[in-house]
Structure 1
Amino acid sequence: MAITLARDLRPDMRWLSSGFVLTFCSCFGQTYFIALFAGYLKAEITISDGMFGSLFTAGTIASAALLMWAGKFADQVPIRWLGAAVLAGLALTALAMASLTSAWMLLLVFFGLRFFGQGMLTHVAMTAMGRWFNQKRGRAVSIAALGYPASEALLPLIAVATIGLIGWRMTWVAIAALLLLVALPLFVGLLQRERRPTKEHADGGTAPAPARRDWTRNEVLKNPIFYALMPVLMGPGFLLTGIFFNQIAIADTKGWNIAWFATNFPVMAGCNVVSALAAGWLTDRFGARHLLPVLLAPLGLAILLLTYMESPYVLTAFMIVVGFTLGSASTVHGALWAEIYGTEHLGAIRAVVMSVAVFASALSPALIGLLMDSGVGVDALLLAGAAYCGVAAAWTVTLIPRLNRLAKG
């Protein structure tokens, strides 16, 4: 499969690489990367854990609200220049972080990192892959999405080492320099000639035909199926954000060393890569909509194991399943909306989806924290998450006939 994938996509590597650059750089706005600086930031401006979390949540929610409006520019502005503008915005935010002096400034920095990094870079990359590719869409999305596990595996370790050498402020200056002097010119250079396939563009493969009708965002927002899909599509992000945010509490409950979590992250990243590539091939062959039930059922079983088993090796099994879930989800979600709603207004449609995803990632830690403060145990919360996955997977199966009708116009 790998040889076939390389052969089929070799002519398109220029455009696929541009998507990889954007997803790789989105790391700087992701929770796991920002958390590396939490101790330094709280000490620098003398704020509590609660205030730090509140500022982060507020900045994330504000970024989601703006993304719902700004996402439409992916339909109106050439990807080359929109991506360049977002990279520049992220670089300026990194410089603002390097000169941080107050809590209010940290709120603005969190907003910028989440909007430009987590939000717009991901949105622009996935919108471009969905629009530029038709019958190779799944594989294209999977290649572009490899920037996520690549950055997860490399950048946290590099950041920790860099902080030790030059300090946390100069580390953010280095990040800004990397974005402005390397990522931005590389991205613009890759898109000297932007890919613009027509609806009838045949780019190989055996996937079902894309949606015959191009829905507007207003039409999508009036379509009940869109809302029926939300619990299914937001489930993995909501649950896993909550689990990783509370990994210390889980480790304490199970009697594990917290370092055991960190040790298993490379395992997750490796499985993420494998599953993203496999899901790309399966998406092109069978359609993204038919893979939706597969995303949540294994995750539910893994959370169930995490609930009832005490062995530390259960965490390794859990992280393997999480890696496969995240890799598959990034590919399937990236292809689904173009498949059922068309590509003409894909940026505006995906902006709504991304906003909901960002809201979910912001609310999960707060909601789970409140439940834990109310006396709900870790195992009870994990069991509820496993049950959610099972119900959502079954619900998705019932939606497939209606999704098939949407995809066929």
Structure 2
Amino acid sequence: MPGYPNRRARQARWWNAPGSARRESDPAPTATVATHRRAPTGPVVAAFVLMFSSAFGQTYFIAIFAPWLKAELGLTDGSFGSFYTVANIASAAVLLWAGRIVDSFRIRWLAVAVLVSLALSCAAMASVASAWLLLPILFGLRLFGQGFPAQLAITGVGRWYLRRRGRMMSIAVLGFPASEAVMPMAAVTLIAAVGWRETWLAAAAGLCLVSVPLVLLFLRNEPAHDQSAETSEEPVAPRREWTRAEVLRTPAFFGVLAATVTPAFVMTAIFFHQAYLVETKGWTLAWLAAWFPVFAGVSVLTALATGWLVDRLGARRLLPLFLVPMAVGVTVLAVSRSAYAVPVFMVLGAMTNGSAQTLLGALWAELFGTRHLGAIRSVAFAAQVFASALAPGLVGILLDLGVRLESQYLAMVAYTLFAALLLKALVPRLNRLAAT
């Protein structure tokens, strides 16, 4: 019948037609939640842009400027790391309080406000002249760089997509490894060409002229909060929608947090003090930076594979495995002085890094629903930010006290293996929570 391409639509038309005669014995058409249509790509592209734009507030980018900042502002490794830690803790506290606004407003305009704020922080870094002014600038870079873009992107994808949440999450988080592949070498090249302050100005211009227009374009048809970007003919079983207060009364949630913040701490500690690492090992910053594209490439492949596995197996079954590659990679970095320890670490660390964002992005929606996902993710993400905040200051202070970097790395490996065992023990409890 023209205009009704499938049997179900024709049946529904007949059923609802005025004056149609129906026998009592005729079965009613099957009720469905919505008609099937292809999931639009606009929202996930906008999420990718947000993740990519977070580069200017990420540790691996800021750490490149550490030698110039310490030299011009008179900072030691310990004092610079302590400033970074304070700024991170403050940004985590604000994100914990403000992260819930994602549940009340459209992400489109929140994203524009965040990107403009990040651009202003980059411009401020270009003109920093005092150590004390560095503190609020680092706070702005971390809150509007590391914090809010990922909060908006991952919460949005978790809410916009249902049937293919794992795959869409893996696409969105590719913005992060893509920025890791491009930004370190781009920063080093620009610093050599125009200077480190001018590089920050270029970052501010890129955010305003590229990132903001792209987000406005791809979120022009952003779904409402009570709708998904994709629909299905298959009925969706009702499930409990947890509030943040209910989640905070669940001990298993904190057990998962204690384990899943491990990559944030370990990778931040290594990348923030990368200059010290290469100096003690006899390598160069250029050698380390040259392997970031490999790190990004492996992260991409792992993220895509993780998204595919999440849609088939669920995030809970993968949790105990994702920390193991990083533990092996950090062990190699600690015990070897060979320059080829760098690519080994980059590959293995990228496997954990690539799977973490996709896995954790899907996990909270899988366990607790999507109605209060922004508020719940704000707690989880604030914990990650706090862990990444603690790492630079703690490692820097221990270095000032004479604790060797290799010994610190081995301590990180021990905790990582403990965290993997903890997640393995928590899986049965998580399965019961998800079945609610």
Taking structure 1 as the reference length, what is the TM-score of the superposition? 0.89
1:298 aligns with 2:330: no
| Separation in structure 2 between the aligned mates of residue 297 and residue 223 of structure 1, nearest angstrom | 26
- The structure where helix makes up a greater share of residues is 1
1:369 aligns with 2:369: no
1:72 aligns with 2:100: yes
Kept in 1: contact 2:70–2:76 (CA 8 A):
yes
Matches within 5 A, 1:228-377: 228-251=255-278, 254=281, 256-257=283-284, 259-377=286-404
1:87 aligns with 2:111: no
| Separation in structure 2 between the aligned mates of residue 301 and residue 331 of structure 1, nearest angstrom | 21
Q: Partner of 2:213 in structure 1?
A: 185
Q: After superposing the two structures, state which structure 1 stretch, 294-303 or 134-143, moved more.
A: 294-303
| Separation in structure 1 between the aligned mates of residue 151 and residue 139 of structure 2, nearest angstrom | 16
Q: Partner of 1:150 in structure 2?
A: 178
In structure 2, stretches of 5+ residues that fail to align are: 1-35
How far the C-alpha of 1:135 sits from its partner, in A, is 1.9
| Separation in structure 1 between the aligned mates of residue 296 and residue 159 of structure 2, nearest angstrom | 27
**1:361 counterpart letter in structure 2:** S
How far the C-alpha of 1:30 sits from its partner, in A, is 0.7
Q: Partner of 2:10 in structure 1?
A: none
Q: 1:104 to 1:372 in 2, by over 3 A?
A: closer
RMSD: 2.7
| Separation in structure 2 between the aligned mates of residue 252 and residue 47 of structure 1, nearest angstrom | 18
**1:340 counterpart letter in structure 2:** L
How far the C-alpha of 1:171 sits from its partner, in A, is 2.7
| Separation in structure 1 between the aligned mates of residue 233 and residue 389 of structure 2, nearest angstrom | 38
1:219 aligns with 2:259: no
Q: After superposing the two structures, state which structure 1 stretch, 333-342 or 393-402, moved more.
A: 393-402
Kept in 2: contact 1:211–1:341 (CA 8 A):
no
| Separation in structure 2 between the aligned mates of residue 197 and residue 277 of structure 1, nearest angstrom | 26
Taking structure 2 as the reference length, what is the TM-score of the superposition? 0.84
How far the C-alpha of 1:248 sits from its partner, in A, is 4.8
Kept in 1: contact 2:170–2:306 (CA 8 A):
yes
- 1:88-115 superposed Cα distances (whole Å, 9 cap, x missing partner): 1112222222332323322111111100
How far the C-alpha of 1:85 sits from its partner, in A, is 0.9
Q: 1:38 to 1:211 in 2, by over 3 A?
A: farther
**2:324 counterpart letter in structure 1:** A
Q: 1:98 to 1:239 in 2, by over 3 A?
A: closer
Matches within 5 A, 1:82-161: 82-161=110-189
| Separation in structure 2 between the aligned mates of residue 171 and residue 314 of structure 1, nearest angstrom | 30
| Separation in structure 2 between the aligned mates of residue 254 and residue 204 of structure 1, nearest angstrom | 55
How far the C-alpha of 1:132 sits from its partner, in A, is 0.8
Kept in 2: contact 1:143–1:277 (CA 8 A):
yes
Kept in 2: contact 1:135–1:205 (CA 8 A):
no
Q: Which residue, 40, 43, 49 being the options, matches 1:12? A: 40
| Separation in structure 1 between the aligned mates of residue 256 and residue 337 of structure 2, nearest angstrom | 34
**1:125 counterpart letter in structure 2:** A
Q: Partner of 2:194 in structure 1?
A: 166
Q: Please identify the structure whose Cα radius of gyration is greater.
A: 2
Kept in 2: contact 1:19–1:129 (CA 8 A):
yes
In structure 1, stretches of 5+ residues that fail to align are: 1-7
**2:369 counterpart letter in structure 1:** G
How far the C-alpha of 1:386 sits from its partner, in A, is 2.2
Q: Partner of 1:393 in structure 2?
A: 420
**2:170 counterpart letter in structure 1:** S
| Separation in structure 1 between the aligned mates of residue 59 and residue 251 of structure 2, nearest angstrom | 32
Between the two proteins, what is the percent identity of the paired residues?
A: 50
SS at match of 1:72: helix
| Separation in structure 2 between the aligned mates of residue 50 and residue 218 of structure 1, nearest angstrom | 37
Kept in 1: contact 2:73–2:130 (CA 8 A):
yes
